[in-house]
């Protein structure tokens, strides 16, 4: 049975930046959890950031530019927290490799986990197209990443890799 990397916050673990627990309601995630498929991960906590923590945004294009040294991740207090995000992304990849994972469902909008949009770095709530650092690293290592909004597509992808 294939394992699936999942953002820990989506299944109710207390890892969100603001310290609030917010479960993403999904019958599929519940079923996968009961089947023992889910491997929860929070790259930010895994990288050494506390809960709660100041919110962070990518000041640059997106996770690819951070991963390749051309942009930074800054928190709302002006502190450069890039190293925590890079460490967390590497740990998420190690976890995926350990469990032979090639499918992930990660939280959209996160500077680590997003697969469709990130915030623009101004801490004003403005979104822009882009991917998070962990998502980019996983994809560069042949792990498909889906957002929580794309769980139906993840279900279909899982069918193709379990053949």
- Position 162 scores a pLDDT of 87
Beta bridge partners of 127: 119
Helix (H) or strand (E) holding 105: strand 103-106
CA separation for the pair 55, 145 (Å, rounded)? 23
- Closest to 4 in 3D by CA, of 35, 44, 45: 35
- Position 15 scores a pLDDT of 96
- Position 60 scores a pLDDT of 87
Cα 68–Cα 92–Cα 147 angle in degrees, nearest 5: 85
Question: What is the pTM (predicted TM-score) of this model?
Answer: 0.96
Total domains present in the chain: 1
Q: Over its length of 163 residues, how does the chain's per-residue pLDDT go in tens digits?
A: 999 999 999 999 999 999 999 889 999 999 999 999 999 999 999 999 999 999 999 998 999 999 999 999 999 999 999 999 999 999 999 999 999 999 999 999 999 999 999 999 999 999 999 999 999 999 999 999 999 999 999 999 999 998 7
Q: Do residues 32 and 65 make contact, with C-beta atoms less than 8 angstroms apart? A: no
CA separation for the pair 100, 95 (Å, rounded)? 8
The domain in which residue 131 lies consists of: 4-161
């Amino acid at each position: 049975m294939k394992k699936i990397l999942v953002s820990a916050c989506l299944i109710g673990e207390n890892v969100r930046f603001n310290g609030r627990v917010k479960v993403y309601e999904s019958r599929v995630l519940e079923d996968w959890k009961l089947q023992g498929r889910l491997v929860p991960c929070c790259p930010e906590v895994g990288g050494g950031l506390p809960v709660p923590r100041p919110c962070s945004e990518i000041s640059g294009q997106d996770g690819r530019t951070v991963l390749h040294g051309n942009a930074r991740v800054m928190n709302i207090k002006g502190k450069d927290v890039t190293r925590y995000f890079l460490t967390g992304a590497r740990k998420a990849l190690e976890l995926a490799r350990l469990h032979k994972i090639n499918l992930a469902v990660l939280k959209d909008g996160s500077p680590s986990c997003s697969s469709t949009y990130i915030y623009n770095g101004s801490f004003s709530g403005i979104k822009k197209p882009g991917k998070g650092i962990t998502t980019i690293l996983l994809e560069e290592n042949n792990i498909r990443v889906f957002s929580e909004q794309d769980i139906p597509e993840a279900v279909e992808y899982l069918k193709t890799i379990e053949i």
